[in-house]
Every structure is written in C-alpha cells, then in structure tokens.
Amino acid sequence: MNFEIDSFVSTSGNIFGGFASYLIVMFSFLLHLVKTFEYQNPYEIVGKIEMNLDELKSVLSKPVNLKIDYDERYSLASVLVVIHGKEPQIVMTEKPKHMKFHAGEISFPGGKLEDADSDLLDTALRETSEEIGLHLSREQVIGQLEPVVTLNSGFLILPFISVINEIPPLLANPEVEKIFHIPLKSFLKTMSKDPDPSHNIIQEMYTFEYQNQIVWGASARILKQIRNLVGF
C-alpha cells in the first residue's frame, strides 16, 4: 500500500512538475513579446517590420489640402514623390549641371506653379509627366507632406505622394540628366546631419546618400518626413 502511494505521489509529481515547466516557458515567451512591443506606437512598429507598399500606403495616406499659408517672399512649387515596386523604390532625378538653380542636385520631379495650372497638385502631375514621362491621375495621389523651402532659389515646395504597384519605363526630358529608382528602406537608413554650416541657415538640414551622391536641402527634408512617418 505504501508502495502504491509512493508511486502515485512520484507520478503526480512528474506530471505537475512537467506542467509547471511548461507554464514557466510560456510565461517567459509572453514576457518577451510584451517587452518587444512595450511603449511602441504603430509608426515605430512599421519601421521594424519588412517594408511593403500596403504598409507605406497606410502610413503615408493623408487628405490632400491644396490651401496652404505661406510667406509671399517665396514662389510656389510642388513635387511628386513616387514610390513603387514589390521591394519599394523611390523615384528621384539628377538635374543637369548647366541649370541656373539646383544644378547637378538629386531631387524629385516637379516644378513651379504656372498660370495654366489649376493648383499645386496639377503642377506636380504636369511636371512629372514632362520630366520623366510618367502620367498619373489625381486619384493616384494618396497624400502630401509638410511644405519645405529651398535655400537659394526662393521656392516653397508642397510635396505630394503616390504609392503604386508598378510603373512603365521612364524617359527623361532635357531638364533631367538621370532617373534613379532608389531602394527606399536602405536609402532612408543613410540619413545624417548636414555638416555644411551654410546649409543650416533656414532650418535644420540633413543628407542622404545613394551611389556616392549626396541628397541634401529641400529634397532631404522631404525624405526626413517620410523617414519619421515610417518609424525609422
């Protein structure tokens, strides 16, 4: 009888001991998950998972507001930020070195508001079509960023955003030296403070780098806004 009781106690101890070990393992796993996501907002989480177009559309979508307050010392302009592809790429252009303003700089397709343009979104779509041969509709624009100003040319630029699955082959016009399709995730990770003190006259400045070329100024401040939104 004592043997049977001892055996029962021993068997029960093994069962409960195993169950206790299982609970400890599960508790440790849940604690790890809590610590991983503790105090993180949705933008921070997005930056830590694999970037794709659906996620980008979610965080970059914003109602388009074409009425902006601005200092009349500046001329109005707009650009279109185009992001495309299964592994998202951002479209940028290199300006010819003979241009009066922004010669040789890496920027987004766009330009100044013309009399024939109905608004700044019309400007961005028209300039994108003219500069790189990409024809998009107003419905394909999912949002906009905060306006930025240029350092030397006196423009206030309103950036619009389009995130699309794929785009046709692009064709540069004489205003464009080269078209880049830059992998977005790795590009955003190259951000650093602009070391040139003369570039920091108007506001805090940053740089990004692609193929040993530096993106700075208004274009870099646009990229900084995108970087903030996706949580890098």
- HSE of 194, CA atoms in CB hemisphere, 13 A: 21
Kindly report the pTM of this predicted structure: 0.76
Reported in sequence order, the residue ranges of 22-154 that DSSP labels E, i.e. its strands, are 75-84, 89-94, 106-107, 110-112, 143-144, 148-149
Phi, psi of 163 (to 5 degrees): -120, 115
DSSP 39: T
Give the range among 79-88, 194-203, 214-223 with minimum mean pLDDT.
194-203
Instruction: Please state the rounded mean pLDDT for residues 24-31.
Output: 54
Extract the tokens encoding 109: 């397709």
Q: How far is CA 19 from the centre of its chain?
A: 47
Helix axes 217-230, 53-60, angle to 10 degrees: 100
pLDDT of residue 5: 42
- Token representation of residue 33: 């998950």
Strands 155-164, 75-84: pairing is parallel
Among 24-28, 153-157, 168-172, 199-203, the range of highest mean pLDDT: 168-172
The size of the chain, in residues, is: 232
Res. 48 pLDDT band, cuts 50 70 90: very low
